[in-house]
Chains A and B, each alone.
Chain A
Amino acid sequence: MRSHEGKSRVVPPSPSVPAVEGACACTGACVKVISYRRVYARQQAAMPALTSAELDALRLSLEIALRSVVFSLPLAILVAYLLARSRFPGTLALDALVHLPLVLPPVAVGYLLLVSLDSRSAVGRWLLAHLGIELPFSAAGATLATAVMTFPLMVRAIRLALESVDRGLEAAARTLGAGPVDRFFSITLPLMLPGILAGLLTAFAAGLGQFGAVITFASNVPGVTRTLPLALYSAIQEPGGEAMAMRLAVLSITLGILGLVLAELLARRVYRLLGR
């Protein structure tokens, strides 16, 4: 970055913004840095107020990330349980499947979702006919793409928590008359709570920033699927969108820091509750 900044200083004085953009179209980073420096100086005073489009993006990001973690949590707990505790032959395959989004390009995940769930696929047709749900180009689709992408993070955290639960305590609960389901909800689940919270927060934070899978599967529809990162991307693409891009970037950073602080406070509280 520093070399770009240095270069920007020797750029001939006051070229029009579009010209700079055109000149540096090959490297996005270059565009960002130069526009940022020039525009920031000019519009610093007007910074704080968020436009309705920006607020929409913020609201959508929060909503989609929240929905995605809420819907995937029960499934993540189930999968973590299967991976940590059961020894059925498919464990390895399930493990690989769950972790696939971590190693695939996000765009590929979005594309696979599109191919398997759009209105031409069997599942897509069924969803549309019976539930009236059309996933591509909808907020529900963005939620699904986000959930798929953040699922491995959540499963990993929960699985670690489950593996650290002392089986001896579950055995003790058995001798006290607790059956399997009772035992899970009264002992195992509460003891996993720190891991579940960590998984939730990590997945939520990562969900806020999902880009490739979301834009590929759910597209970039303002007010419907245009979340913070998508809005940021669009702002960068648009001539004159630099101020908006800057504000969105600052917003994203603020959100991230808030999330981290909240996670830490919550974790401390839970650990105190568990007496560790």
Chain B
Amino acid sequence: MLRLSVLKRFEGFKLMAELEAPTPGVVALFGRSGCGKTTLVNIISGLLQPDEGRVELDGVTLTDTRSRIRVPVERRRIGYVFQDSRLFPHLGVLRNLRYGERRAPKEGRAVGLQEVLALLGLEPLLTRRPHQLSGGERQRVALGRALLSQPRLLLLDEPLAALDVARRDEVLPYLETLRDKLSIPMVFVSHQLEEVLRLATHVALMEAGHIIAFGTLGDISLRPEFRAIVGPEVVGAVIDGTVIQVDAERGMADVQLGRGILHISVPHAHAGARMRIQLLARDIILATEPPRGLSVRNALEGVITELTDDVGQAILVKVDIGAGAAVLARVTRNAMEALGLRVGMDLWVLVKAVSPRGHTYPASAQL
């Protein structure tokens, strides 16, 4: 468990945050630029001292201003991957990787050099120097270096922000691999929904120096605060489901979501895998009768639990689809009135097979 409750004042800015996050797990600090995400990460690492408060990791107090405890950064064993990688320019890749490893305690090592080299594909880079690496390669080396210091927690401060889209797609799979293969708890800072969708188990929403909501990504995706941050275009429920059946030839898969089954197009899925799907509110169609004669193949049964005003004159409808899962659908006020939508009403949620944004995970992944 990572527990923190801190206060830090700057000129014109105040960070006041409380958080209790399970470990291991991947927590995304998600919010707009300048909301205090990096400050919070620096406080956890110890690079920044809070004015008041405490930080505790797995029962060990790292910072406590009241009892004047302040474990030095170098003894916290918290790995940190910076946005700008910060490889040591006077050392080659191998010596960069070894820097933290040599300074870590000898006993109880979780990862070795060979494992890190394999996980991050670093073997071909070993003899190079940092200035001979591309941005993506640099971040991979920085990741490996942090991992080899045998951290109890890994902090990642927008590790992909300095990379262009192609490089980002090159590094993201490695981060997913780390999450799935090693059980090192991670806290990562992001303002990219894509990264959060692919990596996070939990999300802490931040705004103006406060953590305004914390929970699993599924829960958070339904919250109005989340909608305010991501913007109306990408509002939609994130649901973790299980792949039941795969039609590899057509690139389709059956995914269990709540009580229903969604038949959707996903390129690389295998039966049994966990799958995270985002159903965008603007792509969802609601029907008060079982649909017939439509090209839409997916109809999930559900019940309306909430109706809220959305941007413009639109209405956001929350529909419970069973097993604790819910979807959000955006409809016009006219449509709501014509269909007589109200809380408690049974209906069908229609999803186009090609519209969900999905990511698969191995069955073992702790989502």
Contacts and interface: CB of A to CB of B under 8 A. Distances in A.
Interface of A: 166, 168-169, 171-179, 182-183, 186-187, 190-191, 193, 273-276
A168 B74 contact: no
A177 B88 contact: no
Contacts of B82: 168, 172
Given A168-B82, A177-B74, A182 B89 contact: no
30 contacts: A168-B86, A169-B88, A172-B82, A172-B86, A173-B88, A173-B99, A174-B47, A175-B45, A175-B47, A175-B74, A175-B78, A175-B80, A175-B146, A175-B149, A176-B99, A176-B103, A177-B77, A177-B104, A178-B74, A178-B103, A179-B72, A179-B74, A183-B74, A191-B90, A193-B90, A274-B89, A274-B90, A275-B89, A275-B129, A276-B89
Interface in B104-149: 104, 129-132, 145-146, 149
B137 to A, nearest CB: 14
B79 interface: yes
Q: Which of A171, A176, A193, A274 has most B Cβ within 10 Å?
A: A176
A233 B135 CA distance: 60
The 5 closest A-B pairs by CB, nearest first: A177-B103, A176-B100, A275-B131, A175-B80, A172-B86
Nearest to B45: A175
A160 B263 CA distance: 65
Q: Which of A177, A179, A187 has most B Cβ within 10 Å?
A: A177
A177 B89 contact: no
A176 B145 contact: yes
Contacts of A182: 103
Nearest to A179: B74
B73 interface: yes
Contacts of A174: 47, 72-74
Nearest to B47: A171
B73 A276 contact: no
Given A275-B129, A275-B131, A275-B132, A175 B90 contact: no
A1 B5 CA distance: 77
A269 to B, nearest CB: 13
B75 interface: yes
A174 B76 CA distance: 10
A45 to B, nearest CB: 52
Given A172-B82, A177-B104, A178-B74, 5 more contacts: A169-B88, A177-B77, A179-B74, A186-B99, A191-B90
Given A168-B82, A275-B131, A275-B132, A175 B88 contact: no
Nearest to B80: A175
Contacts of B72: 174, 179
B131 A276 contact: yes
B84 interface: yes
Contacts of A173: 88, 99
A191 B47 contact: no
Nearest to B155: A175
A205 B362 CA distance: 66
Interface in B38-81: 45, 47, 72-80
Contacts of B90: 190-191, 193, 273-275
Contacts of B79: 175-176
A44 B99 CA distance: 61
A176 B98 CA distance: 10
A190 B96 CA distance: 14
B72 to A, nearest CB: 7
A169 B86 contact: yes
Interface string B326-341: 0000000000000000
A187 B96 CA distance: 11
B134 to A, nearest CB: 14
Contacts of B104: 177
A177 B77 CA distance: 7
Contacts of A171: 47, 73, 86
A275 B130 contact: yes
B143 to A, nearest CB: 13
A177 B47 contact: no
Nearest to B130: A275
Contacts of A166: 86
Nearest to B105: A177
A153 to B, nearest CB: 25
Q: Which of A168, A173, A175, A187 has most B Cβ within 10 Å?
A: A175
A173 B87 CA distance: 9
Nearest to A270: B90
A175 B129 contact: no
Contacts of B149: 175-177
A174 to B, nearest CB: 4
B146 A176 contact: yes
A205 B129 CA distance: 33
Nearest to A191: B90
Contacts of B74: 174-179, 183
B322 to A, nearest CB: 45
Interface string B176-192: 00000000000000000
Contacts of B99: 173, 176, 178, 186
Nearest to A273: B90
B98 to A, nearest CB: 10
A160 B75 CA distance: 30
A193 B90 CA distance: 10
B103 A168 contact: no
A133 B298 CA distance: 97
A185 B148 CA distance: 21
A168 B77 CA distance: 18
Nearest to B85: A172
A173 B80 CA distance: 10
A193 B91 CA distance: 13
B130 to A, nearest CB: 6
Contacts of A177: 74-75, 77, 100, 103-104, 149
